Amino acid sequence: MAEIHPTALVDPQAELDGSVRVGPCAVIGPHVRIGAHSTVGAHCVIEGRTTIGAHNRVFQFASIGAEPQDKKYAGEPTRLEIGDGNTIREFVTINAGTVQDAGVTRVGDDNWIMAYVHVAHDCQIGSHTILANAVQLAGHVHLGDWVFLGGQTGVHQFVRVGAHAMTGFQARLSQDLPPFVTAAGSPAEAQSINAEGLRRRGYTPERIALVKQMYRLLYRKGLTLDAARQQIDALRGEVAEADADIALMQAFLASAARGIVR
């Protein structure tokens, strides 16, 4: 049996693993499923068609799975899916999806989501991301793996942030931020690559140097985007393990419908 505080309100239809712990005054709705060894803090509300995996920690006063803040929403059975090993701190709000998109908001694994973060409807968050205090994601935002968004970063709807990218404090993103790139300012402008993050993830100096080459072609050579992409493609084979990084960058740039941060 799950360890449920006597003051918590857990609907009998909710599916909680026997190792789940639920704190005082928490409210859990009928369509919620929570996996092994996850904890729900005091006064949390988890509702809607929400699935939460194993080893997650949801701190006090979080609101998870509520209806999307979208005036078009008409009660459709949309969902929220959260993976394993996530930390979700105080006053975080994560909303369900809408039928205007895939109908589901997703959060991957091992994400660190700090206090007062808002994740709007239909956002797709990868794994191993860090969202610092008060980051605000509008609807339909996509974040790749290992993204780090600085405190109070605001992200416009439909913007995509590539894997390993990073923003500074109070950055305002209204265009796509390519993989590996660090941006700051309001509006955000590209500053450098996230070299320290790559080092921490085991990237070799040669691989990091090639990522820097891609950055220079995009931002320092005065090239058009198409010309930069051609020259980035020509880097294939120079560092064998970096070919995957080139492919990641090229795929991102090819689908950058909003333009990229420059």
Residues forming the active site: 121-122, 139
CA pair distance 101, 70, nearest whole angstrom: 12
Question: Residue 80's beta-bridge partner residues?
Answer: 50, 105
Rg of the Cα trace of the chain? 20
Contact 33, 14 (CB under 8 A): yes
Contact 167, 185 (CB under 8 A): no
CA pair distance 52, 85, nearest whole angstrom: 10
Question: Residue 16's beta-bridge partner residues?
Answer: 34
The pair phi, psi for residue 24, each rounded to 5°, is -60, 140
Q: What is the DSSP string of 88-117?
A: E-TT-EEE---TTTTSEEEE-SS-EE-TT-
How many Cβ atoms from other residues are within 10 Å of residue 237's Cβ?
A: 9
CA 223 to chain CA centroid, Å, is 30
